[in-house]
Structure 1
Amino acid sequence: MPKSKTKQHKHKGNHGHKYLHKQKLRATFLSTHVDVLYDEYHEPEKPGTVNRTELNEDVPGMGKFYCKVTGRHFESALALKNHTKTKRFKKLKKQIANGPKPHNQRDAEAAAGMAPPTNS
């Protein structure tokens, strides 16, 4: 069998992973923080509060399809349904539903000795 005239170049490893760290950082800073999601998830529905079903042109799907666990808006009910099957959604839901309350700025200030005085 004769050798081919063109030389095959073999790559070692996967070169498609170059910019994954940038995507993860971007997702971290653009997403809603866990302490805010925790409060929103555990907050009981109060009568007379703002309802998420109001139309909003600035968010995808006019604000109709909102995930309370991840704090994201979706274009359609199908996209929201597919989102609820993802590993990220399930992991965050388990963390928010069963886990301890995440720390917030008030907790950090109290730990540093900058808590407001208690008048009791």
Structure 2
Amino acid sequence: MGRLRRSRVHKSIRDQYRKYRTRNYAKDIDQIHEELKKLDENEAVMSQELDEDLPGGGQFHCVECARHFISAEALGEHKRGKNHKKRVKLLKEQPYTQAEAEAAVGYTTENARIKLMEDVM
């Protein structure tokens, strides 16, 4: 009888398991940028309503990481951590716009082509 399976199937490797699991999927950077814009306009985020389904009643929320914590101490500890600092650093960069994406691919509007031709002449 031959072998029944390959020798390496990543069965018990924890990182491989976590890589494909999407239960704890965090928000994307562009979604958080939009939230931060809304927060800048409203400025009244600190008085959130009590929500029994969220940890800590939804009172202790990290906007940059889109996570809720059970206490102010846990939130403070998170803000001193490596993952939070990485996320804040990523959020300092401005996200790409649709116009930048189209320009990178080579798509332009008809008005932009006419203006470009006028600049060339």
Q: Report the TM-score, using the length of structure 1 for normalisation.
A: 0.60
Alpha-carbon separation, structure 1, partners of 2:64 and 2:33: 8
Q: How is 1:46-65 mapped onto 2 (pairs within 5 angstroms)? A: 46=42, 53-65=48-60
Residue 82 of structure 1: aligned partner: 77
Superposed CA deviations along residues 19-76 of structure 1, whole A, max 9, x for unmatched, are: 11322443686211111111212331327x7766211111111100000110000001
Provide the secondary structure at the position in 2 that maps to 1:32: coil
Greater fraction of residues in helix: 2
Conserved 8 A contact 1:52-1:63:
no
Q: Which sits farther off after the overlay, 50-59 or 21-30?
A: 21-30
Gapped runs of 5+ residues in structure 1? 1-16, 113-120
Alpha-carbon separation, structure 2, partners of 1:35 and 1:90: 17
Gapped runs of 5+ residues in structure 2? 1-11, 106-121
Alpha-carbon separation, structure 1, partners of 2:70 and 2:59: 8
Alpha-carbon separation, structure 2, partners of 1:25 and 1:89: 22
| Number of equivalenced pairs | 98
Change (3 A) 1:68 1:90: same
Bigger relative contact order (CA 8 A; separation at least 6)? 1
Residue 95 of structure 2: aligned partner: 102
Conserved 8 A contact 1:41-1:96:
no
Conserved 8 A contact 1:61-1:73:
yes
Conserved 8 A contact 1:65-1:74:
yes
**Which letter does structure 2 place at the counterpart of 1:89?**
H
Q: Report the TM-score, using the length of structure 2 for normalisation.
A: 0.60
State the percentage of identical aligned residues. 32
Q: Give the alignment's Cα RMSD to 1 decimal.
A: 3.5
Alpha-carbon separation, structure 2, partners of 1:28 and 1:38: 22
